[in-house]
Structure 1
Amino acid sequence: MSVRSPRVLVVDDEADLRELLELTLVKMGLDVDSAATVAEARALLARHPYQLVLTDMRLPDGLGLELVRDVATTYKNTPIAVVTAFGSADNAVVALKAGAFDYIAKPVALDQLRLLVRSALRVHEAAPGVHSNGPADAEAVDGRLKGGSAVMAALRAQIGRLARSMAPIAIHGESGSGKELAAREIHARSPRAGQPFIAVNCGAIPEALMEAEFFGYRKGAFTGAADDRDGFFQAANGGTLLLDEVADLPLAMQVKLLRAIQERRVRKIGATSEEPVDVRLISATHKNLARCVEQGAFRQDLFYRLNVIELAVPPLRERQGDLPALADAILERLGGGGHKAALGPGVLEALAGYRFPGNVRELENILERALAFANDGVIEVADLALKAGQVSQGGDGVAVAASSAASSAISSSAPADLPANLPDYLIAIERDIILRALAQTQFNRTQAAQLLGISFRQLRYQMQKLNIQEPEA
């Protein structure tokens, strides 16, 4: 029994364009039906299941936007893409917000059309329950996206809905709240999960290197260009590109990025032609992008293109019921090798009374540092060293009591002359203890880690952080 080819519905009142689209899709091995009006399209949709609908935005008896809403409501597992007039970015954004999977601009570039169709068919194959066993899954569900709080359940549900679309997503959230993990989860639950996920920190790239890093370059394009090199867009082709801290992009680069997003083509430095790229764009920032636009630091047209769908990642203080699950996951990761640390009495209560200005990243740092000081892998309240001024004074007093207990424990072990700089003092103590353990084991890091009750990986991290190097033989 033969397998039926995917069926596509093309809706356009321009006979020449409709014929071009039909011929291209048939050559791709697809079955194609066509309609010239909204009414004809609705009749065909009622009679046949389609794996993709491709519609013009302006039709004789209505707008393609009406079909977008119909399909998004009635045929939820059928992706619909729109054909927009050249330069009609507003229409494209409106269609994406209404539920369109993607868009393509006139005049239609056939290579871009083929990329769009392949992406849409992957989406349909993943329906109705988008799922992936790709490499990004384990990383995405780890750490900051754990927890059963209502806000996290809502976040995961929204991520599930967004995973099937190609619409750009702007993720907002405070530093350390898990914006990149949310982006990875979107990728992991999308039909692109088997393709690359490339995360770029826009604030960490020198301005002079940005164009080369984003778009690549040809050999000999400039001094030092010894070979051809792909940029971030080429590396993410077929997958997802995360522009982290996108608000830090300089204005000159914003112009070039906007053109790449609009044209879906990039040109390497030194190249004479552009090449198409199929990339799902996700941006993230802890800044208020709308305010950056008002202040002239961010282009309004780029903001409009990136901010099609918003996703807000809640701060830790709004999901403190997740603290036990988060702490458990972090300690399991820090322990490594089956040696899992534990929390002593009152530690969770002390953490619950803390405001976490650095969110889950700060929780990770606090627990990692506490584990370095903990005896036998059991973290006590005194090991937490929570920042002064961030401990809640309200509630039932548990946090205040825990904080007082920590102060008492610290004061009982502190020197008579208090250090002038506590962080430097603690770093010096930590460095001294690690050096003693290493000296005792003749710099055998595995044995030193066992002596200190920590994992080899954690010891290696602490050595790098404290610039402790093995002496030359």
Structure 2
Amino acid sequence: MRELILVTDDDPAQRSLLREVLEGEGYRVELAADGPACLAVLERERPAAVCLDQRMPGPSGLEILPRIHERYRDLPVILLTGVSDVDMVVQAMQLGAFDYLAKPVELARLLTVIRHAVERSRMAERLAELEAGPAVAGQPNLVGRSPAMLEVLRQSARVAATDITVLVIGESGTGKELAARAIHAASARAAGPLVTVNCAAIPESLQESALFGHERGSFTGAVAQRKGHFELADGGTLFLDEVAELSPSAQAKLLRVLQDRSFTRVGGTSELRSDFRLVAATHRDLASLVAEKRFREDLYFRVAVFEIHLPPLRERGDDVLLLASRFLGELGQAAGRTGLRLAPESADLLRAYSWPGNVRELENALQRAVVVSEGEVITPADLPERIRTAGARRANGLAENGAAAPPPLTLAEIEHRAIRAAVERHGGNLTEAADELGIGRSTLYRKLREQQAGASARAVARELLAERR
């Protein structure tokens, strides 16, 4: 649905002009002639942004601004003013104005600010949905409700509306590229290209050619002119992953292009320019590399303008279960199997595991589980052995005297416990227990008989319930 912009101005000609311009850009527009009319519209609509005139009959824009934010805390409000009053501008920003524009309004500037405001509004709505529910609507790349991830999303929302350089820091597999994609998608450059480069995957001798391009004949094998990643990112975002792996020569050239947005291709003489936004990422401590003279200090300060630290999965609490639900939905859809879910025992194992490979390792583990599982429920037996054994070890824990943890549970023991727990939860109803475990009733009967050396399944179930009582 098209975003709604609320224009509040007492000048009919100004309202008409703004409506024509904004509708021409594809927005829906509501008009209000004064502050009370603006508030009346907000009673029935939630616009993506508000253009608010400062000088109007009755309450001024500065008087209406706090009342708007009482209803919609994160609604971007753009103040339109006919006077250049520094004190008034400062007061407006303190009251939470998103931006201000001087009249007569420069239409190109207005549209740029509106785009930024709409993207900020989208991000705010996404954060609200995340805090209210387990997933992020509209931006499926980032999922989480832990305090650490909510802070990441808040920081991403703030920086996306700007054009400054961002450095994403996190362990391998934490989702640094996903964070870069989210920033790009929420920025004014979203319609432009997102060029991703893994610096660690480029041989040192080819880094400058890959980044800045080369001319035909500039070196052996250069049979044709080639554009570099900086040139391809013109009008969009360039994501340099593992930026610490750049050679000293490539670092020097990167510093120059960040300073003046100009460069030359390898073997070329013409100076080229590119309008790009840089998002860099690393799993290393760049400050330590600077101290060791392995990363340029001047480049470090150019790259680390706005740092976002992605937490490892082990520090994100129940986010592991939100991510697992998301991955099972995607993997099940791809495999034509809907309704995939975790058994409670599997969820406990996922919580207990330390996830050294972070989100990437979780996704790979669930890919394996979907392949080997027989039903809708992912049981402990479907998970990789390292997760079963490590999870069981942590669940058992260490003795209070510091003795080593007992040997890890075997696959048979994990399966045995999962079956007993399911039967107990369903009061001995083997059909319901089999449904929860994602196996057929005949399979459950067979496994129960095997566990009790040939006794009937219902006898085993009665015995389990008797033990529980």
What interval of TM-score do these two structures reach, taking the shorter chain for normalisation?
Answer: 0.5 to 0.7
| Equivalent in the alignment of 1:184 | 181
Residue in structure 2 matching 1:124, options 89, 113, 125 = 113
| Equivalent in the alignment of 2:284 | 287
Q: 1:232 to 1:286 in 2, by over 3 A?
A: same
- Please give the residue correspondences for 1:415-454 in structure 2 after superposition, counting only pairs within 5 Å: none
| Equivalent in the alignment of 1:408 | 413
Task: Name structure 2 gaps, 5 residues minimum.
Answer: 1-12, 22-78, 127-135, 398-404, 418-469
Task: Render the CA deviation track for 1:185-235: whole Å, top value 9, x for unaligned.
Answer: 011111111111111101000111111110112233333333322110111
- Determine if contact 2:89/2:100 at 8 Å carries over to the other structure: no
| Equivalent in the alignment of 1:142 | 140
Shift of 1:74: 6.4
| Equivalent in the alignment of 2:386 | 386
Output the amino acid matched with 1:222. Answer: F
Residue in structure 1 matching 2:267, options 270, 279, 299 = 270
RMSD (CA atoms): 4.1
Residue in structure 2 matching 1:77, options 80, 98, 123 = 98
- Please give the residue correspondences for 1:31-110 in structure 2 after superposition, counting only pairs within 5 Å: 47-48=81-82, 73=94, 76-78=97-99
| Equivalent in the alignment of 1:363 | 362
Residue in structure 2 matching 1:215, options 212, 231, 234 = 212
Shift of 1:48: 3.4
1:257 alignment partner, SS class: helix
- Determine if contact 1:151/1:314 at 8 Å carries over to the other structure: yes
**Following the alignment from structure 1 to structure 2, what is the Cα–Cα distance between the partners of residues 290 and 69?**
36
- Determine if contact 2:116/2:188 at 8 Å carries over to the other structure: no
Shift of 1:132: 9.6
Bigger mean CA deviation after superposition, 147-156 or 255-264? 147-156
Shift of 1:172: 0.8
Q: How many residue pairs were aligned? A: 320
Q: 1:142 to 1:273 in 2, by over 3 A?
A: same
- Determine if contact 2:196/2:239 at 8 Å carries over to the other structure: yes
| Equivalent in the alignment of 2:324 | 327
Task: Name structure 1 gaps, 5 residues minimum.
Answer: 7-44, 51-63, 81-116, 413-473
User: Max radius of gyration: which structure?
Assistant: 2
**Following the alignment from structure 1 to structure 2, what is the Cα–Cα distance between the partners of residues 79 and 177?**
38
- Determine if contact 2:170/2:311 at 8 Å carries over to the other structure: yes
Task: Render the CA deviation track for 1:71-109: whole Å, top value 9, x for unaligned.
Answer: 9656853399xxxxxxxxxxxxxxxxxxxxxxxxxxxxx
Q: 1:154 to 1:294 in 2, by over 3 A?
A: same
**Following the alignment from structure 1 to structure 2, what is the Cα–Cα distance between the partners of residues 383 and 73?**
55
TM score, norm. by length of structure 2:
0.59
Percent identity between the aligned chains? 38
Shift of 1:139: 12
**Following the alignment from structure 1 to structure 2, what is the Cα–Cα distance between the partners of residues 363 and 402?**
24
2:353 alignment partner, SS class: coil
1:217 alignment partner, SS class: coil
Q: 1:394 to 1:368 in 2, by over 3 A?
A: closer
| Equivalent in the alignment of 2:245 | 248
Task: Render the CA deviation track for 1:240-291: whole Å, top value 9, x for unaligned.
Answer: 1111011111111100111111120121123221111111111111111111
2:307 alignment partner, SS class: strand
Q: 1:121 to 1:249 in 2, by over 3 A?
A: farther
**Following the alignment from structure 1 to structure 2, what is the Cα–Cα distance between the partners of residues 259 and 79?**
33
Q: 1:49 to 1:336 in 2, by over 3 A?
A: farther
**Following the alignment from structure 1 to structure 2, what is the Cα–Cα distance between the partners of residues 379 and 128?**
43
Output the amino acid matched with 2:309. Answer: A
| Equivalent in the alignment of 2:197 | 200
**Following the alignment from structure 1 to structure 2, what is the Cα–Cα distance between the partners of residues 118 and 361?**
45
